[in-house]
Structure 1
Amino acid sequence: MKTALALFTALVTLGQTFGASDPGLAAWHLDNLYFLSNERLDPIVAPNGVASHLHRIVGGSNFGANYNYDQYAASGCTTAAVQADDSNYWMPQLFWKENSTYTPIKAGHRFYYFLHRNKPDEPVKAFPPGLRILVGNLNAKSQAETGLPQGVFNFVCLKDHFITPSGDKSGPDFNFATDCPQGLVTTVRFSTCWDGKNLYRTDGSHMAYTDNLQFGFCPVSHPVRLPGIMLEYTWQTYNLRPGVPLKGKLVWANGDTTGYGLHADFVNGWDTDVLNQALNDPGCLTGEMTMTACPTLALHTNNQAAVACKPARGVLETVEDFKPITSLPGCNKEWSSGAKPTCSPAVPNPDVPSGLKGTDGSLVYTGPSMLPDDNDPPNTWTRKGCIGGPSSLNNSFTYSDAALTQAKCQNTCAEWGMPWAGLNAGQYCICGSDVDQSAYHWSDGQCNSPCKGDSSKTCGGNGKLEMFHNPSATTIKHAGVTDPQYIGCRRQGTTGPALTAASISYQSTMTVDFCKQYCTAQKQRYAALSLGRTCTCGNAWANNGGTPMPQDTCNVPCNGNNKQLCGSMTISLSTYDLSLPGGSSPSGGSTGITSSSTSASSAPSGAVTVTKTVTVTAACSPPAHKRRAHRDFRA
């Protein structure tokens, strides 16, 4: 027990720190977990067949070559003291290699369930019936080849653990240049976030890790939080060769001598009702505890049954701890780099007894949905929590507002037909079509920046978005403008003009109609007005310009018609797409919008060479037969 508590404390410190009353601090460990069998069986990877290598299996007695939840959950016993857990857990068997022999090493077994939540009021959910999880790459020969985050695997050599735990040594693999007088510990952390749909996918994509292994938050793509399993085997190397350094002496059952081929599997056999009750029992959520300290699970604890539990469906083969054999079972030669060695002649596999075969369960979940309710009401902005960062919305645009409010941001996103509105750092509004599925949910406490325009409400946090969703906001509606060629108030370029092909300025007579006629004559697609007097033209946006802005930032009347709007005095442009049909406004008419289903055009990017810039300050219509003086500038 001392070993369990010391290791547990060390592992918890790797995660986030929570208040004592936070149920997200809860974690269980089961120390009474016993050996079931050594088998070349893997119902996940090799259903109803022989696995490529030997596994050390613990858990429910109905383990076999197939897997379906109903059969496993009906096990007559389990080697786990909590008899409500008929799941099975396994790692590859570890061997000591010496004098052309391979000796299976005995291990002690334990697992931990970390119960960190996505939200304080959102309990972790029980594993869905039929769930399978596989972690690791049995062919890996380096950390990079595992394809997993750092910390998924841990190797600890218990050197002086019971006297000075700080003397324990950790390493990237099992090749310690010392002996391990209290054992070699290998741990595997399973992914804890589920997509809510698939019970298994061969690439493992039905599951995902949090942003901080088991202690952080789930990505949007995998919103269902399950218990975070950490499976721990302590290999009794000291009982085999005390005092002998481990380096060069160990090999996994598949022949891997590097240690990086470590992997682990889980198939669910829990009594779902019992597990759900425990996950919602306040007496089980008061911090770190053994499973038997949880009142709900204590009712189902029977250590004697766990010790006596044996495989109920037969065995494929017999490999005994500490009894040497001359070769690793199956085609598994020692292997440290390159492609895995083949066997010639081939090594025959044993026949799988009929009692170990059976029907496999579905790979797709069909039970009651555990996904968050995304049926948001129409025409309403529903808060979706603190999500991701500034790049977490797809097809997005961003603007800043020193007087930003939640409503102002939402109105802008609705104007541009964007159903997602995100607020960041109190003054940034980000609108997008949908949420990037790789973004993470965060705790609401990380979206704590007061809105610059309404300090009574929050507008995101430092690099975190306070997210709102309105499923009805899918049509562009620029308030107050009826011209069908109008494509909204847009931003000037960040390093220069947004449109660079041509420009003309009239101090007192600029109108929308003239600007459109001018850009048409210049054979340019876009016309944009700013400062009440300036018209610019181009076929494409330049200098990162043309991004959407709120309609109310285009608030400067045109100098030649005060019923029309000609951008702003700063960076906003009233913009028109001359390739769209229509667009003529009555003389002296308004160019504000009532509605438009025309989506904002996305022209090819890239600057256009300036062809002409003309500045005119006198009247728009010179007397007949009299040539106007002007200056002509060429790029």
Structure 2
Amino acid sequence: MLSLVTVPATVALLFLGGVDAFWRMNCGIIHTGRVDPLVNPGAVAAHAHTIVGGSNIGVNATFNTLLNSECTSCEIAADKSAYWTPILYYQYPNNTFLEVPHSGSVVYYLARGPNADKIIPYPKGFMILTGDKGARSYDNETMTWGNATYPGRPIADRISFVCLPDGPPLPEGRHMFNTTCANGMRAQIAFQSCWNGKELYKADNSHVAYLNDIDNGICPPDHPIQLPTLFIETLWAVAQVSGQTPQGRFVFSQGDPTGYGFHADFQNGWDSSVLAQAVRDCLVPDNFGQISYCPALQASQTNGYPFNCPERPSQIDEPVHGLLDHLPGCVEVTEGPEVAPASSMNCPASVPKPKIFSTKDSTPRPTAVPLPGQNFGLPQQKYLGCYNDSANSIRALNALQTTNYTAMTVEFCQNYCMQNGYRLSGLEYAQECHCDNQLNPTAISGSNQCTWNCGGTMTLGKGTQQFCGGLSVISIYNNTDPTFKETGDMSNTAGNAQPYQDAAPFASNYKGCYSDNQPAGRALTGAFTQTSYNMTLEYCANFCTQGNNGLGFQYYGLEFASQCWCGNAIANGNTLLTPTSSPNNYTCSQRCPRAGAEICGGPSVLSVYNNPRYVPPVNKKSIGKYQSKQCLLDPNSGGRTLQGASMTDPKLTEESCVKFCLGKRFHYAGMEYGTECYCGDTILRNIGGQQVTCDESRIMTCGGDNREYCGGPGFMSLYYSATL
């Protein structure tokens, strides 16, 4: 039996320092315009807002209409509340205004103070506004209620701004103190937490009051009921505004260039039973704000945010996006420090009076969600589950794929894979369909984030929706029809179709999957070749075992399905990976283009094999009177560390170098780069010369004998004799 749920959205997470008992959720933009059902119900609002939350937000929104929204742009589907703040614009010297980009808000529900365990959920129909749109300076006189034990605090402290520069963090400010913020400017605002228990909303907000310390402390006696403390963050990409000049400035849509007039509104649209359970079980415990710790919230959590519930067309017939000739509503910019007068909205005759578009409130649409093991979609298609996946070619299914947003459904994908001879079908990013006859062994099931609505069911706009995977997760189905014949082809980039094969097991000389291209450098550095269409394990093995002057290399490895690397050691910093230790489970899983059954590494991961015929060169312990002293670093930053004599010979051997230095009557002999010989009586340690164990990943064989080592880049194979 299929379960039916309704679904929502997400945005980038931000962290509020010093908060212990809370949860937070991310919200994308759902509506932009002069809509404010608290202050201007049924009418055009005085200034424009960015709104996140329930899709039914509008000038006539109520608790019931919000609750009945088709979707919410917040990541918890059970919350169809609406939250809004003014829009931020950049004012150019010619008095045009450009909307500053941002992606939504992060909403925190906090539990603070000695009575936090007595917090009750918001009642149905509850609405609240915080901040003063007319403020243009800091008010240090109007205080919260307080007493000797819990002193009051300036109410203006409900607002704060954070500038995120490319460097050390800056302290918070109570206004837009700095807008040169490479990583964005964040506005933060706290709501009133104390309720009189009577009115659900009053225009002067007298039905609510702040805790004595704004977001902490106790409630005043005339507002004794404590509610969750709402805290909203909005991050604007101020650095993305082009053409900024010293004469320009950032301005909020109510005509505020200071930030003191920042404000926010909340209209409750929660599923009451979910909110009550979350407040009771999840608000007070220290869960680091993570929704995953709260079953009541996690049950409807999704990361499909603006995708599942994108921004709706504005209800007000008036431009608010892009470059504008004036602020929406022709609001005048007022600097203060006096309180700004109410917006007159007296636009010139050339600016038409905006209309309010008639909108029809939506209703929730159910989403059919199969459980693993259930049949779903076309006949005999069994749902296997939600698996990890990646767009970086580490695919759970990687034989064939297609993309079609407007038509993508579970049935569409299943049929596409069947017609091409593939038993397995998988859906991802709401619009991608992937096929294969073999599930990649690196794929791990059990994710609960296959929550993106299928593009085809969304564009139809009616009926039951389906899930089509999600962000780097894929919904996979198996065709269990016993008469189905797997005839799928794997086609490489050159277009040469080959019969499909299951992934072959790794050979007995397989050493493992190693990280590559780390800061320390490549894992194998001896030799390299690349072919986009012909790479196989045999191709790479032959290249590496025949190289190095016929001696071969100890290891060969494959990467990106097209690269072959050779070496005698695995460089430090590159490690053996397992599905749990590798980032995002990136392991060796790409098929070789010329041999689809074979695995040829993956992005920045290397399938490493031993060369079974490899006979390693040796550093001789002694050559005549000269004894091996391992290796000598030779950075060459101030000349060579051995400066007595030198020669270069393409047929250099350890013996020929020692003989050369002995003939010059030097105690030290050193070989470098395979063909260079250096002599001396003193090691110049002041320019970096240090005796170390030879780095096998970089050591080179001698030009005249590949069974011997002759140093390498930046270090010498060192020999010493006390007597000559």
Give the TM-score of the pair, scaled to structure 2.
0.43
Higher RCO, 1 vs 2 (CA within 8 Å, ≥6 residues apart) = 1
Give the TM-score of the pair, scaled to structure 1.
0.49
